[in-house]
């Protein structure tokens, strides 16, 4: 594992997720209780109305300063906060210790992180219609995303709001793919400050899967990353997912594994 590259990929993903929380923070009156704060130089974030580990994360140096990470996990336990730990998949055990306290790994939240130097990516050509999202197509994208990730009905407005505020962010692009004039899939890309183009969340309408739309969205975003001047393309996927296979077809290879840990429930 290239530790330097792994940390850069983690930083890019963290920036992307934080941008979604900041989008919620900008909603008038902050109705979702979004918060962004720092652990030394590491940005952390919480969303009171969203228990998802996607929006409630503590970052920090778990090797040289684990107590700072642990203290923030304790202080924010009501938010179900987690902290990401990285390594080889076999090294991420169900339980680990941090500053004398036991943390448990969240079920279903161990992912592989992928990366590829921009000059080594593979552009798989396609003929699908891909365009940037508009105010008219954003609700369609949010609906497809909510369906693909089984978002609970009470969380769907929050989820859409986390995307709505991104359209004015120069670092983020949201794309939708149309078939016969209908939005059937969509995906995000985040241009991180460290030069990594992070391929964010993607989803396809259930009745439109298996037709090559996800691969087309990967190819389109890679093409845009090249035009932007990004030096690396990175992404996240479950080890057993079709997303992993599509990313590998585009030239991305496994950088490392990431698992989310929380304080063990007593």
Residue spans per domain, the chain: 3-110, 117-256
For residue 165, the model assigns a pLDDT of 85
The torsion region of residue 54 among left (phi > 0), alpha (psi -120 to 50) and beta comes to alpha
For residue 124, the model assigns a pLDDT of 87
CB 204 within 8 A of CB 148: yes
CB 59 within 8 A of CB 89: no
The model carries a pTM of 0.94
For residue 266, the model assigns a pLDDT of 64
What secondary structure, in 3-state letters, does 224-254 show?
HHHHHCCCEEEEEECCCCHHHHHHHHCCCEE
Residues contacting 234, CB < 8 A, separation 6+: 9, 12, 13, 113, 114, 115, 116, 196, 197, 198, 199, 252, 255
pLDDT digits (tens, 9 = 90+) for 215-262: 999 999 999 999 999 999 999 999 988 899 999 999 999 999 999 999
pLDDT digits (tens, 9 = 90+) for 18-46: 999 999 999 999 999 999 999 999 999 99
Tell me: pLDDT of 69 over 70.
yes
234 phi/psi in degrees, rounded to 5:
-135, 160
Tell me: pLDDT of 170 over 70.
yes
CA 199/CA 154 separation, integer angstroms? 27
Mean pLDDT for the chain overall: 94
Question: CATH homologous superfamily for 117-256?
Answer: Gcn5-related N-acetyltransferase (GNAT) (3.40.630.30)
């Amino acid at each position: 594992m290239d530790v330097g590259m792994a940390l850069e990929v983690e930083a890019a993903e963290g920036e992307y997720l934080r941008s979604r929380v900041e989008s919620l923070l900008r909603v008038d009156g902050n109705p979702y209780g979004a918060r962004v704060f720092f652990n030394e130089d590491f940005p952390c974030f919480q969303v009171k109305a969203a228990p998802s580990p996607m929006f409630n994360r503590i970052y920090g140096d778990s090797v040289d300063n684990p107590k700072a990470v642990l203290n923030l996990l304790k202080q924010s336990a009501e938010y179900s906060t987690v902290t990401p730990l990285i390594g080889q998949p076999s090294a991420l055990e169900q339980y680990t210790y941090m500053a004398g306290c036991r943390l448990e790994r969240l079920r279903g939240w161990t992912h592989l992180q992928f990366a590829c130097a921009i000059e080594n990516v593979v552009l798989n050509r396609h003929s699908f219609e891909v365009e940037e999202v508009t105010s008219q197509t954003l609700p369609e994208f949010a609906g497809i995303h909510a369906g693909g990730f089984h978002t609970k009905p009470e969380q769907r407005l929050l989820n859409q709001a986390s995307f709505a505020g991104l359209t004015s962010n120069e670092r983020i692009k949201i794309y939708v793919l149309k078939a016969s004039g209908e939005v059937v899939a969509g995906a995000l890309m985040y241009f991180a400050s460290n030069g990594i183009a992070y391929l964010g969340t993607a989803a396809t309408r259930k009745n439109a899967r298996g037709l090559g739309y996800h691969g087309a969205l990967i190819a389109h975003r890679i093409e845009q990353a090249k035009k932007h001047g990004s030096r690396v393309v990175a992404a996240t996927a479950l080890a057993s997912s079709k997303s992993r296979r599509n990313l590998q077809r585009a030239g991305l290879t496994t950088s490392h594994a990431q698992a989310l840990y929380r304080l063990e429930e007593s």
